[in-house]
Amino acid sequence: MIEATDLVGAMTTDEKVDLLTGQGMWRTHGVERLGLPALVMTDGTYGVRYSISQIDEKQEAGVDLDAFLATVNRKANDVEIAWGSMKPATCFPNGSSLACSWDVELARAMGEALGVECRAMGVDVLLGPGVNIRRTPLAGRAYEYFSEDPIVTGELAAAMINGLQGQGVGASIKHFACNNSEVERTSMDSIVDMRALREIYLRGFEIAIGKSDPWTVMSAYNRLNGEQAAESHWLLTTVLREDWGYRGLVMSDWHGIKDRPASLWAGNDLDMPQSRTRRDELLEAVNAGTVSLESLDTACIRIVELVRRSEAGRAVKPKPLDHDAHHRLARKLAGESIVLLKNEGAVLPLAAERLKSLAIIGPSAIEAVIQGSGCATTSPTRVDQPLAEIQAFAGDCEVRHFPGTGSPEALAAALAGAREADVAVVFVNTEVGWDGEGSDRSTLALAEGQDALISAVALVNPRTVVVVASPDAVEMPWVADVPAVLATFFSGQAMGGAVADILFGKVNPSGKLTTSFTRSMRQIPGYLTYPGENGRHVYSEGLFVGYRSHDTLQTELLFPFGHGIGYSGFAYSDLVLDRDTLRDGETVSLRFKLTNTGAVAGRETTQVYVLHGKPRVSRPAHELKAFIKTDVAPGETVDLTLALAADDLRYYDPARECWILDTDDIIVEIAASSRDIRLQAPLKTRSRVGRFREITWDTQPGIILATPIAHAAFRGFIAERMEISEDDAEHILQHCASSFLGMATTLDRRLRQRITREEVQPLLDRINADIRAWEQQPGD
Ligand code: BGC
């Protein structure tokens, strides 16, 4: 096979420029003359959405704005109408649902199944997963994204990508970066401070990219700190390639590039979809010499390498496609992801043989709400309807359905039915079709009339179970009035079956929340500056996203991050750390025991948080660092071991542009949720790096006196400059201690000598070099 460099060397400039723009909406260009094939790519994040009309029949659709908008603005409930002929594909749990499984093995299995479906359809690159942080539950694309936390996000994304790419299909991890709202989504400037960027918003990408090497990265639509993401050299080259060592291809989001030459220079290799205008702009820039041939070639080489990866992928025989097996997998995934939020009086699981009648209420019991709206919306191979699935478990128990909404008569009938039934199960959801890509939710409330429906049913039947389908958190004004609540999020085409499995105890629920549920919208961190104004959206909560804010401020919540219960209980004991001090580059191993105290087999997600003691810089009260999901038989005790790397405990120092391990006395927490800490152990973190700040000419004397190397150096400087003893120099220094002016200015005044910046600079350079050298030496 010809080397990528040689192949690109044989191309004309025109061919190169063609190669760097899409062909139609869903293909890359090939170079037939040189035997380079085109690639096919399509959405999305939890199912393969293959539009026959756009991919097979009407390839020029990329120039057709209507076709594109029909794709993106599509509502979940009119999939077929907007899409014309779509190939059916398994609609798996959407990102916000899947993540509640906290199960990397299942995420990998889902990735693999997506890969198998892509291969069967001839798709080379799948445009997912979406890994943006769910900074606010209002975000239109929250349903596609995994979590408010970067560790859960990164780990699940990596597993999914590995599963997908293992089948020879490339992933496109997206949207890089800070696409956290749909408001003015192609122009809004996300203003994010550097620590929040590195520690929260980029961290999930960094973890996933490090652990799975996705074939492609998709740049985001929005601006980030003043630059269009698709045109940010800092983001696409400095961070992605230089810091993280990424070697794959960067493609734009669809029509996300505004200045093509600038985007190429920044590191955005491929412009999607086809745009003659942007293609010509690039060609003109190349001809004018404002874009170098070298950067053109670099991007082309990455495309050729992507094609090579894909060709190698195609050479591997895929697993055979079995839609029934994928539907079963979808049911298993949904069953692992649905979260039982409360279950007072053990109203669940239902024992069909002891029930005479069940009232199933709500229109979505017969028209399941399974996915969100937008480019990810999938044409499911089939849909399990909750009512039918419940009937399949009910045996002799009478099951009656009441829509309950739409008219006073419908409500009255539902209430009469609920009053007579042993148990009422109410299926509710957020407004279908309006939340999703292109627009944020304006409220955390359920669809109109549904809160009132639940309250009314709860009044007539104390055994009311509520099943909520939503993209992200919702408010639950009725939560105290009902004994049981299940959150399904958008759990895909097998949601109905999975809910029935849980209601009747066939599956012991084990999902846990990956975002916080606040009591009201006003408690969302950053609420005061959401959604931005005049084109700027300041992420005012900084690092304190989600539970990082709530647990620091001790906000009273509806349900905390990491919460979820099941039908068995779990006890934790015997936490042992294999060391009491952790230094740079080291790893600490945590061992503890987990016991299933219930009568049924269960799965528990254990979360490891780190509580910062006296951090040098601002830090959340505690932060998730690791998690593990474990099967435990009733009565069984398992020994679990987890590792924490010192690297993962570091904070990002924007001044030094590096990660730093604090010297701190921290607490390692073993937890069932962010508010349910079961075990604790102390751990010292020790590092010399960053202990002392860089000394500049205007550093205050108090800081210099607290920095031994600087203190000694200034003492020597004064002694030499004034031709006095070190003791006298020390005396003078101590007299400077209370000055709030910078050191150079303070000395200038106190010594009554002209001391210029230039004069102290060599001293400062030496001090700072000595501090760096000291940092590298062993010892605390
Ligand atoms: C979305 C992407 C998607 C692309 C192609 C864009 O509007 O933001 O996530 O992959 O369209 O459908």
Ligand 1 atom having least distance to the Cα of 144 = 9
Q: Where in the chain is the domain with CATH 3.40.50.1700?
A: 336-553
Find the mean pLDDT for residues 94-104.
98
Span from the CA of 27 to the centroid of ligand 1 (angstroms): 14
pLDDT in tens, 325-377: 999 999 999 999 999 999 999 999 999 999 999 999 999 999 999 999 999 99
Give the relative orientation of helices 450-460 and 408-420 as an angle to the nearest 10 degrees.
30
Q: How confident is the model at residue 362, as a pLDDT?
A: 97
Find the mean pLDDT for residues 707-715.
98
Mutate which of 184, 272, 375 for ligand 1? The one with the most ligand atoms within 8 Å of its CB, which is: 375
Ligand 1 atom having least distance to the Cα of 179 = 8
Q: How far apart are the first and last CA of the chain?
A: 55
Radius of gyration from C-alpha coordinates of the chain: 29
Span from the CA of 375 to the centroid of ligand 1 (angstroms): 6
Position of tokens 């999975």?
498
174 lines ligand 1 (CB under 6 A): yes
376 lines ligand 1 (CB under 6 A): no
The catalytic residues are 253
Q: How confident is the model at residue 615, as a pLDDT?
A: 97
Q: Are 384 and 393 in contact (CB under 8 A)?
A: no
Q: Where in the chain is the domain with CATH 3.20.20.300?
A: 4-315
CA atoms within 13 A on the CB side of 295: 21
Ligand 1 atom having least distance to the Cα of 68 = 12
Tokens of 572: 């934790």
| Residue identifier of the C-alpha nearest atom 11 of ligand 1 | 254
Tokens of 735: 């007299």
72 lines ligand 1 (CB under 6 A): yes
pLDDT in tens, 20-52: 999 999 999 999 999 999 999 999 999 999 999
What confidence tier does 81 reach under pLDDT thresholds 50, 70, 90? very low
pLDDT in tens, 639-665: 999 999 999 999 999 999 999 999 999
Mutate which of 41, 43, 49, 378 for ligand 1? The one with the most ligand atoms within 8 Å of its CB, which is: 43
743 lines ligand 1 (CB under 6 A): no
Span from the CA of 420 to the centroid of ligand 1 (angstroms): 48
What confidence tier does 77 reach under pLDDT thresholds 50, 70, 90? low
Share of the chain above pLDDT 70, in %: 97
CA distance 575 to 124: 46
43 lines ligand 1 (CB under 6 A): yes
Span from the CA of 566 to the centroid of ligand 1 (angstroms): 36
41 lines ligand 1 (CB under 6 A): no
Q: How confident is the model at residue 779, as a pLDDT?
A: 87
Q: How confident is the model at residue 223, as a pLDDT?
A: 98
pLDDT in tens, 281-308: 999 999 999 999 999 999 999 999 999 9
Q: How confident is the model at residue 68, as a pLDDT?
A: 73
| Residue identifier of the C-alpha nearest atom 8 of ligand 1 | 253
Q: Are 650 and 660 in contact (CB under 8 A)?
A: yes
Ligand 1 atom having least distance to the Cα of 175 = 9
350 lines ligand 1 (CB under 6 A): no
Q: Is the pLDDT at 82 greater than 60, yes or no?
A: no
Total residue length of the chain: 780
CA distances 4 to 36, 108, 183, 306, 309, Å, are 10, 31, 41, 10, 12
Instruction: Say which CATH topology domain 4-315 has.
Output: TIM Barrel (3.20.20)
Span from the CA of 437 to the centroid of ligand 1 (angstroms): 9
Span from the CA of 44 to the centroid of ligand 1 (angstroms): 8
Span from the CA of 317 to the centroid of ligand 1 (angstroms): 29
pLDDT in tens, 564-606: 999 999 999 999 999 999 999 999 999 999 999 999 999 999 9
CA distances 452 to 60, 369, 441, 446, 476, Å, are 49, 19, 20, 10, 11
Q: How confident is the model at residue 69, as a pLDDT?
A: 75
Q: How confident is the model at residue 53, as a pLDDT?
A: 85
What confidence tier does 59 reach under pLDDT thresholds 50, 70, 90? low
Q: Is the pLDDT at 75 greater than 90, yes or no?
A: no
747 lines ligand 1 (CB under 6 A): no
| DSSP label of 651 | E
Sign of CA dihedral 558, 563, 568, 569: negative
Ligand 1 atom having least distance to the Cα of 273 = 5
Kindly report the average pLDDT of the chain as a whole number. 96
Q: How confident is the model at residue 464, as a pLDDT?
A: 98
467 lines ligand 1 (CB under 6 A): no
Find the mean pLDDT for residues 142-159.
98
| Residue identifier of the C-alpha nearest atom 4 of ligand 1 | 254
Ligand 1 atom having least distance to the Cα of 128 = 10
Span from the CA of 254 to the centroid of ligand 1 (angstroms): 6
71 lines ligand 1 (CB under 6 A): yes
Q: Are 391 and 336 in contact (CB under 8 A)?
A: no
Class in CATH terms, 336-553: alpha beta
Q: How confident is the model at residue 300, as a pLDDT?
A: 98
pLDDT in tens, 435-448: 689 999 999 999 99
Ligand 1 atom having least distance to the Cα of 174 = 9
Q: Is the pLDDT at 487 greater than 50, yes or no?
A: yes
Determine the CATH number of domain 570-686.
2.60.40.10
| Residue identifier of the C-alpha nearest atom 12 of ligand 1 | 375
Ligand 1 atom having least distance to the Cα of 25 = 5
| Residue identifier of the C-alpha nearest atom 6 of ligand 1 | 254
Span from the CA of 132 to the centroid of ligand 1 (angstroms): 14
Q: What are phi and psi of 261, to 5 degrees?
A: -60, -40
Ligand 1 atom having least distance to the Cα of 185 = 8
Find the mean pLDDT for residues 384-399.
98
Nearest residue to 80 via CA among 68, 69, 72, 88:
88
Nearest residue to 486 via CA among 100, 76, 95, 94:
100
199 lines ligand 1 (CB under 6 A): no
Ligand 1 atom having least distance to the Cα of 172 = 10
Span from the CA of 130 to the centroid of ligand 1 (angstroms): 10
Q: Give the number of other CB atoms < 10 A from CB of residue 59.
A: 15
Span from the CA of 10 to the centroid of ligand 1 (angstroms): 33
What confidence tier does 433 reach under pLDDT thresholds 50, 70, 90? confident
Q: Are 91 and 46 in contact (CB under 8 A)?
A: yes
pTM greater than 0.85: yes
127 lines ligand 1 (CB under 6 A): yes
Q: What are phi and psi of 755, to 5 degrees?
A: -115, 110
375 lines ligand 1 (CB under 6 A): yes
Q: Is the pLDDT at 412 greater than 80, yes or no?
A: yes
Q: What is the dihedral of CA 509, 514, 520, 526, to 10 degrees?
A: 180
Q: Where in the chain is the domain with CATH 2.60.40.10?
A: 570-686
Find the mean pLDDT for residues 622-638.
98
Span from the CA of 374 to the centroid of ligand 1 (angstroms): 8
| Residue identifier of the C-alpha nearest atom 2 of ligand 1 | 253
Mutate which of 25, 51, 72 for ligand 1? The one with the most ligand atoms within 8 Å of its CB, which is: 72
Q: How confident is the model at residue 78, as a pLDDT?
A: 59
pLDDT in tens, 230-249: 999 999 999 999 999 999 99
Find the mean pLDDT for residues 302-321.
95
| Residue identifier of the C-alpha nearest atom 5 of ligand 1 | 254
253 lines ligand 1 (CB under 6 A): yes
